[in-house]
Structures are given as C-alpha cells and as structure tokens.
Structure 1
Amino acid sequence: MTVATEIRTDASARAAEIYSTATLGLYIDGEWREGAAGRTFDVLNPVDDSVIGQVARAEASDLDDALAAAERAFPAWRDTSAFEKSRILMKATALLRERAPEIGRLMAIEQGKPVKDATLEAFRVSGTLEWCAQETRRLYGRVIPTDVDTSLTVRYEPVGVVGAIVPWNFPAGSPMRKMSAAIAAGCTLVIKASQEVPATVCALAQIFHDAGLPQGVLNLVFGRGAETAEHLIDSPTTRLIAFTGSVPVGKQLNARAGALMKPTIMELGGHAPVIIAADADPIQAARRASAAKWANAGQVCTSPSRFFVHESIAEEFTAEMVRQAEALVVGDPLDEGVTMGPLINAKRVESTDHLVKDAVAHGATVATGGHRIGEQGCFYAPTVLVDVPLDAEVMSEEPFGPIAPITTFTDLDEAIRIANSLPFGLAAYGFTESASTADILARGFEAGILSINHCGGSVTEAPSGGVKESGLGRESGPEGVQAYLITKRVSHKLR
C-alpha cells in the first residue's frame, strides 16, 4: 500500500475554495431557502476534519411546507403526459452529463471517494435518469378479455407523494435512484438527504430545476435522521416511504409505516459472502473481489465482506488479496493517482478499528493494514485478515469499511450454510470454473443480488434489492418504477 501521507498543506484551502461554489440549502416548492429557525449543520472534509460549509437544517414547519408543496404539485404532474415527463427528464440527463465533472469534485471533497470514481458515479446516474425518462413512456396498462358485455382493464397510476430518505455513501446514486423513478412514475416527493454530503444532492436538485421540472414535484430537505423520517412517515400526505440505510433503522421505520398501512421500499444493509470454490482461479478471483472490496473504502452495502476460500487455494488467494491491498494509493481524493480516500467520518474509523482489534483478539492474523493512517482525517489502511473465526464480530456485523476477513472451508455445502446463517441477504458472490458448481451457488445463496465469477455492481436496467432483513421491494429496472405505482382494476358495463 502506498500512503499519500504528505497531505498538501493547502488541502483545506483548495477543498474550501471548490466547495464554496456549491449551492447548499433546502429546496422547497421550486426555491432555495434556509431553515425556519436559521439553524445549520457543519459539513466536514474527511481528509482533515476541517469545516468546509454549512447546510440548512429543516424544522418541522419546513417539512410541512415541503409536504404541502408536493401535495399541491401532484395532480398536475400525475396528469402530465408521458411525453412531456420524458422530455423534462431527458433534458435533466443532458445537464447532468454536462455537469458531472463539477459534481464529481464536490462529491470527492465531502464524501471522500477519489475524484475519478466520484465523477464516474455522476456519469452513471445520468444513465439511471435517462432510463427512467424512457421508462415513463412504457408504463402500459392492459386489456383483459371477458365473456360478458363488460370491458376489463388494468391501469397503473402514481401512488402519490413519496417520502424518501437516503444515506451518504453514494451521494448521487442513492438519491437519483429514488428521484428518477418516482418522478418518472408521476409521483411528487420530499427527499431527506444526508447533511454530511449535501452539495452533491443539491446539485442534482438544481439540475431538475434547470430542466424545467414544475415547482413542488421535487423537494429536498436536511434534518436530524430520526425526527425527520418520523415526520415524513407520520404525515397523512405521504403515500409511500422509500429508505436506504441500515437494517436496524430500516426495521424501525418500516414498523412505524406499517402501523399506518403505508407501503415502503427498503434497501437495507447486508454482509455479502464470497465463496471461492476449489476449482476457481485464485488469482483472478482475488483481483476481481479486490476491485469491489476496496471501492469507496468498503463503504458499500453490497461490498464483499466475508471471504470463504477453499483451503487448497487459500494461500494463493490471500497472497493476491494482500498484493492488491498494498497496491492501493491512499490519500486526498482530489489528488491524481489516489485510489482510496478517507472514510466518511471518525465514527466509521473507530468502528473499523474495533472490528479489526476484536478479530485479532479472537485469533485472526493481520496480513496487511490493520491501523489508522496519520494523525488527522479519517484514513484507515486497507486490511486483510486471515484465519478469522466465525465468532469474531466482523463475521456477523457488516464492516462497512476497508476490511477483508478470510476464512477457509473444505465442504461447499457447509460453506453455503454458513454464508446463509446471518439474517441478511442483499448480495452474494461465488467464484468457480465449474458450471455445476455455479448452479449450486446460484441456487444455494440466499440473496437478492448474486454474481458468479465477478462482483457485479448496480445495473440500471435490472432490479436490485435484498431478501430476509436486507430489505423490501426493488429499485432499478422496470420493477423500480413499478414500485411507485398502484394497480387499479377498471370494469365498464357496456350496455
């Protein structure tokens, strides 16, 4: 691992200068504004913990204003033709692609992923927006033949006002999944984004504004997580709640919504197992798994996070994982050549370090990494752990950081059983050269997203979501837009 510990002395000034160009605020009823009480959240640069900006904090009255705006805008947006919706969303797509480099720089500063990856995220979500722009013209109903003089049709209509809550780890990707699908379906929404990464989502809201989205269709707020989410759920205005975040919080919000018979879309955490079978190519498997493991410093809900390697190839696999980890360049995400930036905040660093120390206390060995980097900022060395026992916390608690815990197995069925033993089921990965073993893995894994011989990421055209405690419903693909629609059966007596 190369550590760019020589953080530039002007790093804070450089980041602050770039960040000063960002629009930060609440976007309600087509206008930017401050919170009713004038309170703000500090935005920190994870490179050095410096304050780089402030974003408005929404009060209850601000949330009510946003909900009222969405409610007023809904009838007209619902009845807007599919062609006009598509036109506006396609214009937003073009603007997003034009502004992706600028958004990438803001994202790198506030969230910590390398600027190249951040810019790529902005470009990729333009594809999500483009696909939803086209999907709005494909929301077909159907005619059902009957044996009586009655016509029978099925209509799909937008559910209404959506309350959405998104996290910080994909500042463009997570909000855009919800905004593009809901708006394409004909819904209006109030979205609560993370105050840790406000500039990116504010830039997205500005793009929708500049593309001509009618006022009130999209409303953006920042606030304390629990109280803001509860306000959105409890409001009779919202008809659906869409949440991306941790399993414990998702379960609490889902229970609260369920008490009101309010449907939810829940994209929750996982703890993705990786099984490397005896006949797999250990070098290739390690390289492909590493690319996914170290992306975004491991702060990805589908990140491979439990490695089960057949004992016959474990040594080769582990050696290549270590080589890949040590080839990373860790440093300021704005610097050219940096391949891994800091974690989002000090809490994530502390959690990561705790899991490493707990694993070592249970008998694991640190093959590389295993420590903080530097005295300032939120850097942690990419860490490979070997001989990790199943009772170590890292084998049951999602690390959400740069840790790759490796253990070995001899029996494939037993490895699958252990992989499925946790209550999570978001993503799973398998590596094998055998078609029959691939089929065993595909059938055996309990997960909503499964990749064989690679660690596939999100795909705009295909559904994404978990099973068990990892979520409800699906995002992306036709299913992702359908989630924001209600199904209405209409019968008409002809005579």
Structure 2
Amino acid sequence: MNVSYDPLYLFIGGEWISSQGRATAPVLNPATEVVIGQVPLATSADLEHALAVAQRGFEQWRATVPAERAKVLKRASALILERVSHIAEQMTLEEGKPIAEAVDEVTRAAEYFEWFAESARRIDGRVVPANRPGVLQMVKRQAIGPVAAFTPWNFPAITPARKLSAALAAGCSVILKPGEESPSTALALARALDDAGLPKGVLQVVFGVPDQVSSQLIASPIIRKVTFTGSVPIGRLLSARAAEGVKPITLELGGHGPVLVFDDADIERAAVEGVANRFRGTGQVCISSTRFLIQRGAYDRFVQRFVAATQALRVGDGLKPDTQVGPLANARQLAKMEELVADAVAKGAQVLAGGESLPGPGFFFAPTVLADVPMDARVMHEEPFGPIAILMPFDKLADGLREANRLPYGLSAYAFTRDARTAIDVADGLEAGMIGINQYRIVATELPFGGFKESGHGSEGGIEGIEHYLTHKFVSQI
C-alpha cells in the first residue's frame, strides 16, 4: 500500500511554519525503519512568539459567545470525519498501529469535538440567595486562561482531541506540544480546526526538545493551566514545574492494569477479549490489561484459551488490512521488551507465547505471554507498555484485590464474574479510576478518563472534562 506522508510544520498564529532555519528530528515508519519526514523543532523565539499569540488569542476567544465556539468545534468534528481515511493512514505510517485501530481512533477524536461543542453551551453559574437585603450574589465560571498541553506519541489523535476540545469549549487558548514521533496526526487536527474557522492564534502546535519546551512554556506567566499525558517520571517533573507558578495541572500517567477473573466467569470471553485488549495498539496503551489474575479453579482453562488466542494473532505492517498487531513505535520500546522478558526468564518466569523480537526490518516483537513470574522481576513492577501479558493465579477475593492494588498505579482495572455480590465488592475494592466489569472497553466520550495514586489526577472527557479549564468567580453586588 503506497501512502505518502504529509509535510510537517509548526503552527503558530494561524501560520504553517516550515523547518527552514530550524533544527529537525527524523520521523520513522516503525514498520520499515525508513525516515518518512523531518519534524521542525521550535526555537526559544518560536515559543515566545507562540506564548504572545496565545495570550492575544485567549482575549479574543474567551469573548466569543459559547454558541459560536460550539459551531467551530462542530465544523472541526465534521471535517475530521470527512478526512478520517487520510488522517488514519498518516497515523499508521508514523506510529504503526493497524489501520482499523487508527480509523477508530480518529473517529473517536471527532466525537470529542462534537461532545464538547455542546458542553460549551452549557457552562453556567448560579445565583446564591444573600443574607442581606438588596444584595445580588453570583458565582460565574469562566475560562482559566492559556493552556500548555503535552501529549505522547501512542494515541496521537484522541489524546490531543480530549484536551483541545474541552479547553477550546471553555474559551481557553492552547499551545499543544504533541510527541515528535507522531506529529502529522496532531497537525491534521489543527488543520481541521483552522479550516473550521478557529480564530488565528487560539491554537498553536509546536514541537521541540521536550525538556526545553516544557520548561519555557510552564515558566511563562502567560500559561495559566497545564495538562499532560505521559509517563510517571515526566509527570512528576512537570507537576513540580507547574507548582513553582502555582498553576493547576491535570495528569494522566501510566498504569499496570489488573484483571480479576473469577471461577464463575465466562472464561472464553474473558480470555479472548483479554487478548484483544492486551495487544491492541501493540500493548502501548496506558489502560491496557497487563496482569491477568485468575482464580485457581479457572486458571488452566483461561491459560489454554489465552495462549491459543495470542498465538493466532497476525503481526505485520499496520497498513495491511489483515494486521492485528503492528510494530512497536520506536527502537526504545523494542529494547525495553527484550530487557523485561530476559529479566523475567532469568528469574524463573515461563514464556508461554512469543518472547522475542521478530526478524526483518521494523520494531516488531511477538505478542508474549508470561507465567510463573516472580515478584522480583521488573515486569511485575514496571508498566510494560508493550505486547507482554502476565498470567498468575489467586485463591480468594481478598488475595486478588491485594495483588491488584499492590502497585502505586490506579488508572484502569477489570473483573469478570457472574456473581453480583462479587462484582460490587470488586468495584468497591479496586483502586483505579476506571473499572470494567465483564468488559474491557471502558472509554467513552461522555465518561471521565483518568486515575489516581501515581496514575495522575483530574479527568478528561465527560462533564468532568471541561471543569479543569474553568475557574470560579464570586461576585457580590449591591
């Protein structure tokens, strides 16, 4: 399949700025390891320009009535859907995920703009009865100000869409820094917003050396809100930088999703759908199920079905329509998978499927199933963020919950049981921001997305998603 890669730019003040006169970073197709583009890296002057423009854009956009903001977001949603095939191809070229997954992601990104377009029209306040005659007391909710948004490479459409749609609906301007390894997808969203009539300067898209960009943007007094999706260590760093300016920050960080499968569960469904969930996005999904905890009476049946379904997966270039698992996004991820498996095996783990890199060009690693993994193995503590599944038995509910909650992560968790009492107890006992009972698909536009503990704080999506971009103002009038 011959697909061309779009030129790459910075987008500042409504202008598409080429790489001329700027350093660049190569963009690779992870299925071939061929360089397909050069992404321009913003200079310090570019970032200062973006900040100044974002301030002017905010002053204009916050004064735009909600109905007009909603129209722009709805037009952008429609344009993204019109362009879904092209944007999905760009995503697969630069990030590697199977084209069907890319189409689904772009479609859901459009849904966020549609959802928050309606939310823009529903930002309200309240009148509070006063305890003195002749006094009018009001609480108003207003846009917090220019936002610095940082997104990773693994979901280059839906993650920026969650942040952009909510912030723009609230009346904020945004400087977006996507991952440099998958830049074209985010630029396609910006193109749709620009074509939809978003005023120049309300959205800027910049790329650069991550540490330099984040330190300069967050330190600026112009930025009033920070939002970040990525790793726990970087989340800690950006949180500290935001704290220096007493700026609120939303963090969506890593996970190590446990799945509790009880003896009475539909074992076939839990196993087959578990394989699909675990290896979706080549396992580079923060809410993926990673640790499958199976009650001992169902353990052998689950393992047999899970391993068979894993071995049946088709691995290949994401542009091929029959591919189910694409390459890892970069060489770093491939090396990490090799290290985690080697460490687990050296400490006594059993490899039931996969366990090795695949020959030929591209960052391919076989979908891998590990059992009998000792507690001192790295993979039992570190988020794999790749195609590795861990299977382990447990006896009683309390044992399963203890292991599920052992790690400092609290993003996603899952459970399979036919018993209503068990389902209630598990939902109450699991320490996670998002929980699926008898299903793995837990993300929807109208629902909050986020976790707690070291998986971050704050939610995106749903009615909660816009709150982080609003501030409350109390007005008392005589």
Alignment match, 2:328: 343
Check whether the contact 1:272–1:305 (CA below 8 A) recurs between aligned residues: yes
Contact preservation (8 Å) 1:128, 1:176: yes
Question: Is 2:412 the partner of 1:427?
Answer: yes
Match of 2:102 among 90, 104, 118: 118
For 1:453 and 1:391, the matched residues in 2 are separated by 30
Partner of residue 154, structure 2: 169
Q: For 1:221-370, what aligned pairs fall within 5 Å after superposition?
A: 221-370=206-355
Are the counterparts in 1 of residues 22 and 43 from structure 2 also a CA contact under 8 Å? no
2:48 counterpart of 1:59: no
Q: Between the two proteins, what is the percent identity of the paired residues? A: 46
In the alignment, what sits opposite 1:8?
Answer: none
SS at match of 1:338: coil
Equivalent residue in structure 2 for 1:201, among 182, 186, 196? 186
CA drift of 1:153 comes to 1.2
- Indicate conservation of the 8 Å contact 2:139/2:473, yes or no: yes
How far apart are the structure 2 equivalents of 1:129 and 1:324? 36
CA contact (8 A) 2:8 2:18 kept: no
Query: For 1:319-372, what per-residue CA distance to the aligned partner results, in whole angstroms no more than 9, with x for missing partners?
Result: 111121112111111112111110001110110111111111121111110011
Structure 2: how far apart are the matches of 1:247 and 1:26? 27
Residue 82 of structure 2 is aligned with which of 83, 98, 103? 98
Whether 2:474 is the aligned partner of 1:489: answer yes
Partner of 1:28: 12
Whether the 8 Å contact between 1:23 and 1:202 is mirrored in structure 2 is: no
| Correspondence for 1:460 | 445
TM-score (norm 1): 0.95
How many Å apart are 1:147 and its aligned residue? 3.1
Q: What SS is found at the alignment partner of 2:448?
A: coil
Larger CA deviation: 453-462 vs 248-257: 453-462
| Cα pair 1:465 1:473 within 8 Å, conserved | yes
2:401 matched residue in structure 1: 416
- Say whether 1:178 aligns with 2:163: yes
**Distance in 2 of aligned mates of 1:419 and 1:385:** 17
Tell me, in whole angstroms, the C-alpha distance in 2 between the residues paired with 1:457 and 1:24.
33
**Partner of residue 461 from structure 2, selected from 476, 479, 484:** 476
| 3-state secondary structure, aligned to 1:127 | helix
Question: Partners in 2 of 1:129 and 1:457 — Cα distance?
Answer: 19
C-alpha distance in 1 between matches for 2:101 and 2:399: 37
Q: CA deviation at 1:482?
A: 1.1
Return the offset for 1:386.
1.3
* Aligned-partner Cα distance in 1 for 2:60–2:256: 42
Shift of 1:456: 2.2
Matched, 1:137 2:101: no
User: Structure 2: how far apart are the matches of 1:219 and 1:124?
Assistant: 22
CA-CA distance at 1:113 after TM superposition? 0.4
Hey, what's the Cα distance between the residues in 1 that align with 2:209 and 2:291? 32
What amino acid is aligned across from residue 350 of structure 1 in structure 2? A
Q: Distance in 2 between matches of 1:185 and 1:36?
A: 35
In 2, Cα distance between equivalents of 1:23 and 1:218: 19
Task: Give the 3 Å change call, closer, same or farther, for CA 58–35 of structure 1 in structure 2.
Answer: farther
Cα displacement string for residues 175-226 of structure 1 (whole angstroms, at most 9, x for unaligned residues): 1111111000000010111110011111111111100100000000001111
Instruction: Determine the C-alpha separation between the residues in 1 that align with 2:401 and 2:277.
Output: 21
Cα distance in 2 for residues equivalent to 1:232 and 1:489: 29
Equivalents in 1 of 2:376, 2:267: separation in Å?
25
Letter in 1 for 2:74: M
Task: Please state if 1:109 is matched with 2:93.
Answer: yes
Distance in 1 of aligned mates of 2:65 and 2:370: 55
Q: How big is the shift at 1:252?
A: 1.0
Find the counterpart in structure 2 of residue 376 from structure 1: 361
- Shift, 1:23, TM fit: 3.8
Query: Unpaired runs of 5+ in structure 1?
Result: 1-10
Match of residue 80, structure 1, among 64, 67, 74:
64
Amino acid at match of 1:364: A
Q: CA shift at 1:422, angstroms?
A: 1.0
Contact 1:36 1:59 in 2 (8 A): no
Could you tell me whether the CA contact under 8 Å between 1:36 and 1:61 is conserved in 2?
no
Would the aligned equivalents of 1:45 and 1:110 in 2 still touch at CA under 8 Å? yes
C-alpha separation in 1, matches of 2:348 and 2:417: 29
Kindly provide the CA deviation profile for residues 90-140 of structure 1, in whole angstroms up to 9, marking residues without a partner as x.
111110100001000110110000111101111111111100111100111
Find the aligned partners of 2:72 and 2:244 in 1 and give their Cα distance.
36
SS in 1 for 2:463: helix
- Displacement of 1:259 in angstroms is 1.8
Read off the aligned partner of 1:146 and give its amino acid letter. A
- The superposition leaves residues 390-422 of structure 1 with CA deviations (integer Å, 9 ceiling, x where unpaired) of 221111100000000111111220221121111
CA deviation map 1:241-300 (0-9, x unaligned): 000000011011101111211110111111111111122122111112112111001000
Residue aligning to 1:220? 205
The SS at the match of 1:405 is strand
Question: Gaps spanning 5+ residues in structure 2: where?
Answer: none
Q: Distance in 1 between matches of 2:233 and 2:189?
A: 28
Letter in 2 for 1:134: E
Structure 2 residue matching 1:421: 3-state secondary structure: coil
| Mapped partners of 1:37, 1:158: distance in 2 | 36
Whether the 8 Å CA contact 2:19–2:39 is kept in 1: the answer is no
Aligned to 2:32: 48
Contact 2:7 2:37 in 1 (8 A): no
Give the Cα–Cα distance (whole angstroms) in 2 for the partners of residues 262 and 74 of structure 1. Answer: 17
Counterpart for residue 377 of structure 2 = 392
Amino acid at match of 1:473: G
Residue 442 of structure 1 aligns with an amino acid whose one-letter code is A
What is the CA deviation profile of residues 368-399 of structure 1, one whole-angstrom value per residue up to 9, with x for unaligned ones?
A: 10011113210000011112222211111000
The secondary structure found in structure 2 opposite 1:312 is: helix
